Structure 1
């Protein structure tokens, strides 16, 4: 049995400020120091999996965020503010049993009167705004990849061009972007064709198996046990034996009919829309995505196509599912969730990201959760300016690091949105990027999908085997840096609800510096598929996994020092 050192060292907390002359003194804040703990080596039980990330590494030997311990610490304390968390994501199930009481209501707007009562530029935005819906109530389902948009914009200018004297210095950066996008486009087309073939194969195999088995299962109520029994009855029926095996595998790997149908659809639409230079989703909206000044588009329907779009409901449950209601799950914090829809299948538009951030800030959000990402950015400055606007208004932005297992320290692996240019200086002090950790305290502490890098990634948070909400009062187990991001947003909201006098920059530093340090080596998956072993502490700026309890301890001391 391996031993590991678990160190939560004295925190050097630096209050950041752009003006060096205004920097505060360093505060030394003591938190407990632990060492030589035995990690949990047995498989987690079903009960432990329900909320493993709420656990404490010391008490439970599970690398969670000490959320239960945090709430014990808060028993005798009073909530001072209700925090609004803006979810920049897909449409949401705002009637979900575990979310409906948590949805933000715009009290300055009179419902359904066709008037912009609060004069914020958005008519009847009672529960947020949908930047992916049209004024006629239509919903965009698919959007181009950003590299597809780049090719459409520059193809007539640079097609069949090489970098020589024909490219002016003025156009060289655009040409480099075009070339990089073209390389990615060509690679993605090949993968998309393979994916479509696979999707059609899955669909055909499932349909054939279903048709073969309909005599024995007219209600399609298959189980592996009943299929095994049928298999024994007809050992010489090769067609039946084949389709029993197929259906058993579909059940075993949770390939439901809905999953297979959606897989086939998304694979086909990947070619038809996401990679199609002739397809432009903005025609549905009647919007020019290259004109930031025009924001007269979208609608107030934030729950469009919720069975097609599940992501926002998944993320929202982690952050703010109603606590202690004996329904479903307990979110990290009791918050108000502000739905701001900008995500469909494909890449988000920089214009939508920028306007959504401004909308969230202007309407009182304190935390902005952005559980999405893309490999290119056509109008990054718009997003950078939105970060600065949020910073000016003391709003924290929490963003996912991505699930490509990329080393983001490599400039060619840039991931957006981010708060720097070519891994240079940060443009604001209120933006965080989050990687995903697992429930294992060993070489698998970082998940096999998470991006990493101590230039972009600020901190890690649990992002594997997390129970959360699904549309129509359902629940699921999810994984991804989207989940990790939601956990950090939830902790930020929890801390701010008790210590609202912290600035966004202070909150960012609290979350980074109060995390748990794990002095172990982990395996990271490289782009060529091989693995290498590195210290976990080298994979993010902080080298830590967020911890709600420690964050509250530090926040309380900072708050007390301000009195």
Structure 2
């Protein structure tokens, strides 16, 4: 049986907190027996008009966050709580187990472990040669009517909505905002099973100044093409669906593609589709083995992250202390760079929530890539990749783990090659 593509959210850390109901938090449960939770790291003035930007540590980290993980001594599954603001306590601990069943691990945030987004936004605002950029999010679907995303969604202007006619002759009827290759229809959002893609999209280009979170890229220039190729509550699909999605994205104007998913099985059709594409692919490196322990994909490849092609950036999941999350895959040859991916707050169906995994790290890079590409119409996609990798901020913990030995630095990438 062919292995299926799956979305890369850390299994033990796939928890969602509805910030509208935070403290006490409402958590959307996964199918796991034991769940992890987190609250934000206490940031100051990242985007004052966006109330939940306070929790976006990946964009700006003042070092005010501490997570305490209680791990069962005989398993790798734990519970998370935070010390700011107002601890939500030990959520999810089985009543049948006493405190002696757990060991405690404390992780403290390190100031400056973030993507340095504020200088990047300043440089972008000063740019004078901008262009429109379409980013394909090939994933589960996207809540295209979410208040923080509705102005960020690509619109196929050559299609007349709802008339049942393939107006632009591209082979897809009423593909106004993208296409659903999982169900083979134009319904790019089907409900809660599309939280994953919605979360990815928000990190890339959620609106700023509207009271929610803040996306990395400017959604007046960067638009998200929603391509649903993964479905069900587990976020799975087939390589054939991904290949169809890639071909659709490029044929309809996308230049950058986020793939927060992968498979252990090599697919020549998938390899050819990516290698022969002119798009830049930002790809998640994967979330470890069956116990959630990250491993080298140089030795045990996951695809497409391990494909050796020049149009791929493969991304590992960075914690707020500058180390890789224990679940993050790595590889000095196969993985290019690390980016924040643990306890990331973004858009979900009808709200906002936290998710963790390399799925969340990849769109950090995608958002920066889209911002750079949109800022200067003279840049090529190869230039964009070069800027991102050449300016990776070195971290000792990442040496030998990723090719650059460093983490994403949006400010440095945006100003690369500019005179001071």
Query: Is the pair's TM-score, using the shorter chain for normalization, greater than 0.5?
Result: yes
CA distance in 2, matches of 1:106, 1:409: 37
Query: Could you tell me which of 355, 361, 385 is aligned with 1:508?
Result: 385
Query: Could you tell me which of 60, 68, 74 is aligned with 1:55?
Result: 60
Q: Which runs of 5+ in 2 are unaligned?
A: 1-38, 45-53, 64-109
The residue aligned with 1:398 is: 282
The residue aligned with 2:215 is: 331
The residue aligned with 1:432 is: 313
Matches within 5 A, 1:148-547: 298-304=184-190, 306-325=191-210, 327-334=211-218, 335-344=222-231, 345=234, 347-377=236-266, 380-391=267-278, 395-404=279-288, 405-411=293-299, 413-418=300-305, 420=307, 426=308, 428-441=309-322, 445-472=323-350, 474-518=351-395, 520=396, 522=397, 536-547=398-409
Pairing 1:110–2:115 present: no
**Structure 1 residues 539 and 388: alpha-carbon distance in aligned structure 2, compared to 1, 3 A threshold:** same
**Structure 1 residues 322 and 44: alpha-carbon distance in aligned structure 2, compared to 1, 3 A threshold:** closer
Cα deviation for residue 44 of structure 1 reads 7.9
How many pairs were matched up?
Answer: 317
CA distance in 2, matches of 1:331, 1:343: 23
Cα deviation for residue 47 of structure 1 reads 3.4
The ranges of structure 1 where at least 4 consecutive aligned residues each deviate by more than 6 angstroms after the TM superposition are none
The residue aligned with 2:29 is: none
CA distance in 2, matches of 1:333, 1:77: 13
**Structure 1 residues 346 and 128: alpha-carbon distance in aligned structure 2, compared to 1, 3 A threshold:** closer
CA distance in 1, matches of 2:160, 2:178: 13
**Structure 1 residues 347 and 76: alpha-carbon distance in aligned structure 2, compared to 1, 3 A threshold:** closer
CA distance in 2, matches of 1:73, 1:465: 27
Q: Which runs of 5+ in 1 are unaligned?
A: 1-42, 134-297, 421-425, 523-535, 558-563
The residue aligned with 1:96 is: 146
CA distance in 1, matches of 2:125, 2:312: 30
> In the alignment, is the contact (CA less than 8 A) between 1:62 and 1:439 conserved in 2?
no
> In the alignment, is the contact (CA less than 8 A) between 1:499 and 1:555 conserved in 2?
no
1:53-93 Cα deviation digits (max 9, x unpaired): 222799x9321011012112333323611211111011221
Matches within 5 A, 1:552-563: 552-554=414-416
Cα deviation for residue 309 of structure 1 reads 2.9
The residue aligned with 1:65 is: 115
> In the alignment, is the contact (CA less than 8 A) between 2:193 and 2:235 conserved in 1?
no
> In the alignment, is the contact (CA less than 8 A) between 2:286 and 2:358 conserved in 1?
yes
CA distance in 2, matches of 1:346, 1:468: 18
The residue aligned with 1:198 is: none
CA distance in 1, matches of 2:150, 2:347: 12
The structure carrying a bigger helix percent of its residues is 1
SS at match of 2:257: strand
> In the alignment, is the contact (CA less than 8 A) between 1:495 and 1:555 conserved in 2?
no
SS at match of 1:308: helix
The residue aligned with 1:550 is: 412
CA distance in 2, matches of 1:482, 1:117: 34
Cα deviation for residue 373 of structure 1 reads 1.6
> In the alignment, is the contact (CA less than 8 A) between 2:62 and 2:112 conserved in 1?
yes
TM-score by length of 2: 0.71
Cα deviation for residue 419 of structure 1 reads 5.2
CA distance in 2, matches of 1:45, 1:407: 27
**Structure 1 residues 516 and 56: alpha-carbon distance in aligned structure 2, compared to 1, 3 A threshold:** farther
The residue aligned with 1:146 is: none
1:140-193 Cα deviation digits (max 9, x unpaired): xxxxxxxxxxxxxxxxxxxxxxxxxxxxxxxxxxxxxxxxxxxxxxxxxxxxxx
Cα deviation for residue 120 of structure 1 reads 1.3
Cα deviation for residue 314 of structure 1 reads 0.9
SS at match of 1:94: coil
Q: Give the structure with higher Rg (CA).
A: 1
> In the alignment, is the contact (CA less than 8 A) between 1:56 and 1:67 conserved in 2?
no
The residue aligned with 1:123 is: 173
1:438-474 Cα deviation digits (max 9, x unpaired): 1114xxx1111100011210111011121111111x1
Cα deviation for residue 514 of structure 1 reads 0.8
**Structure 1 residues 376 and 346: alpha-carbon distance in aligned structure 2, compared to 1, 3 A threshold:** farther
CA distance in 2, matches of 1:110, 1:408: 47
CA distance in 1, matches of 2:41, 2:195: 27
